[in-house]
Structure 1
Amino acid sequence: MSGKGSTYVLIPGAWHGGWSWRPVAERLRAAGHRAICLTLPGLGDGDDPTGLGLKDAVDHVVSEVEGLGLSDVTLVGHSWGGYPLTGAAHRLPGRVSKVVYYAAQVPVRGRSMVEDNPPEAAAMLRGLIDASPTRAIPPTLQFVQGIFMQDVDEGTQRLVADLLTPQPGDYFLDSLDVPDVSELGIPALYILGEDDHALPRPGTEFAARLGLEPVMVPGTHEGMLTHPDEVAKAILND
């Protein structure tokens, strides 16, 4: 179990902002911890996604942790957020004490998120990026209804779809030149939703990259919104 007074830095997935972690953050705070919900560059309301790359996302996580003078930090990443989480963990020695991947992709060194997708999905993502004047992938209601959040009513699906923002394409096309976090010698945890259909590979495969078995929680890819009690409890390892 995590000790009292721990600090959790919550990193959102593609198309999402810090708002997506708020229900979980409130529960972490109620348990006596500090919780910081990040919104990465280009993913705030009205942000311009043009020209942003994965390094910008990693830099943002690092600058927030260093700028706030944080230590004994648990980095928590959702979905694509596993990429900036991994990159930042390697740049924050002595500050990060644990990492948690929630329904997240665990990067392979030198392989981009697009390259880690099946060929048909990779081709689709490249096509969407190339077709955009800002090289960003727009969110769609179909994504939410089909693979993100298929277990809730249409009104909730539409609300979440309206909150999503275009994803900078190079966040998906850039790779990390670092090994996985298992080489950092810090504890790692992989949490997976029981009805998650959004990951490009089985969550068990991503967990296995860290030598882990996933901790299962209820919900789909958006379980941090629909099942925040269970997700918070799993993060705290209660």
Structure 2
Amino acid sequence: MKKTVLSLLSAAFAVSAIASCSTDDDNVIANPNTYVLVHGAWQAPYVWDAVKSDLTSKGNKVVVVELPAHGADKTPAHQVSLDVYSDKVIEAISKVNGKVILVGHSMGGMVVTSVAEKIPQKISRLVYIGAFVPTSGQSLGELSMGDPDSKLGPQLSQSDDKLTLDVKRDQLTYLFINDGSQGAKDQVLANYRAEPAIPFGNKVTLTNANFGSVEKVYIKTLQDIVITPGFQDKMIAAAGIKKVYQVNTSHSPFLAQPRAVSDLLLQIGQETGVKQ
């Protein structure tokens, strides 16, 4: 009897172990990618935490870039420019073997666009999430003027030295994550920093040979009041982006619905078919 019980326990343990291994294997995708994630204005790397966790759990590599003068970075605002931002991203990408899926949110769209112009050979796909997509010769400041329905502009104030831009604190979560949990809203408030102003005036120069050669995808944010869906459509059309997805969120989908974002990025990664 004792041997029978031991045999049954051993069999049960073996089945459990096999099931556990099977579950782990099911979580790992066949062709993992390297994602490079670039945050937007008034935000920092923390916004990607949940998305990064989900992507890496599926076997992908994830590099989250902290732009100068954001998060814990101490670069003074007067030393920051769009080129400084893009150089930081290029530095991160240069440490990766093979190509990457480069993802930019909001102002980060300007940054990843600049990066794609400089190193198109390193990018398998360029992904914009509720992001600005400039045409050649445009600055972020000029581009944003094309979105008269945005609620952001009236809530901005410039520092006396004109080096930074602030969002009115009582409007911050309403603008960026009005559909998020209280915990997510608290994160946005706790990690807030004034935004360097100089990059808003920096123009991009784009060529068909470089930027034009990179495949592009856009993920629309349907409840966005910072970069409105209608304006997103205009930028998508101007850039000739054919592959468009959507998430039913405000301006910060990675905080409001991180799983929806990671699922789309995983899908885009598998469609890209780049194995690192």
Mapped to 2, the partners of 1:70 and 1:137 lie a distance apart of: 37
Aligned residue pairs, count: 235
Q: What's the counterpart of residue 122 of structure 2? A: 95
Q: 1:231 and 2:261 equivalent? A: yes
* TM superposition score normalised by structure 1: 0.86
Deviation at residue 3 of structure 1 after TM alignment: 6.0
Q: Give the 3 Å change call, closer, same or farther, for CA 49–101 of structure 1 in structure 2.
A: same
From 61, 86, 104, give the equivalent of 1:34: 61
Can you give the 5+ residue segments of structure 2 that lack an aligned partner in the other structure? Answer: 1-28, 269-276
Structure 1 or 2, whichever has the larger Rg, is 2
Q: Assess if the C-alpha contact under 8 Å between 1:137 and 1:168 holds in 2.
A: yes
Deviation at residue 46 of structure 1 after TM alignment: 6.0
Deviation at residue 50 of structure 1 after TM alignment: 2.4
Q: Assess if the C-alpha contact under 8 Å between 2:126 and 2:216 holds in 1.
A: yes
2:113 maps to a residue whose letter is: T
Q: What's the counterpart of residue 207 of structure 1? A: 236
Deviation at residue 185 of structure 1 after TM alignment: 2.5
Can you give the 5+ residue segments of structure 1 that lack an aligned partner in the other structure? Answer: none
Q: Give the 3 Å change call, closer, same or farther, for CA 152–133 of structure 1 in structure 2.
A: same
- Structure with the higher fraction of residues in helix conformation: 2
- Of stretches 213-222 and 135-144 in structure 1, the one that deviates more from structure 2 is 135-144
Mapped to 2, the partners of 1:46 and 1:91 lie a distance apart of: 24
Task: Give a deviation string over 1:146-198, Cα, whole Å, max 9, x none.
Answer: 32111235564243122122211011111111147995333211001221111
Q: Assess if the C-alpha contact under 8 Å between 1:129 and 1:169 holds in 2.
A: no
* TM superposition score normalised by structure 2: 0.75
Q: What's the counterpart of residue 135 of structure 1? A: 163
From 169, 177, 186, give the equivalent of 2:197: 169
Deviation at residue 213 of structure 1 after TM alignment: 5.6
Deviation at residue 5 of structure 1 after TM alignment: 2.3
1:20 maps to a residue whose letter is: V
Q: Assess if the C-alpha contact under 8 Å between 1:71 and 1:94 holds in 2.
A: no
Q: Assess if the C-alpha contact under 8 Å between 2:218 and 2:245 holds in 1.
A: yes
Cα RMSD (Å) of the superposition? 2.9
Mapped to 1, the partners of 2:97 and 2:171 lie a distance apart of: 35
Mapped to 1, the partners of 2:96 and 2:263 lie a distance apart of: 26
Q: Assess if the C-alpha contact under 8 Å between 1:72 and 1:95 holds in 2.
A: yes
Helix, strand or coil at the partner of 1:10: strand
Q: Assess if the C-alpha contact under 8 Å between 2:156 and 2:167 holds in 1.
A: no
2:137 maps to a residue whose letter is: G
From 203, 224, 229, give the equivalent of 1:196: 224
Q: What's the counterpart of residue 72 of structure 1? A: 99
Q: Assess if the C-alpha contact under 8 Å between 1:27 and 1:232 holds in 2.
A: yes
Q: Give the 3 Å change call, closer, same or farther, for CA 183–85 of structure 1 in structure 2.
A: closer
Alignment of 1:108-187 (within 5 A): 108-118=135-145, 131-133=159-161, 135-152=163-180, 156-179=184-207, 183-187=211-215
Task: Give a deviation string over 1:76-132, Cα, whole Å, max 9, x none.
Answer: 00001001101111211321111000000001211111111238899x96x967534
Q: What percentage of residue pairs aligned between the two structures are identical?
A: 24
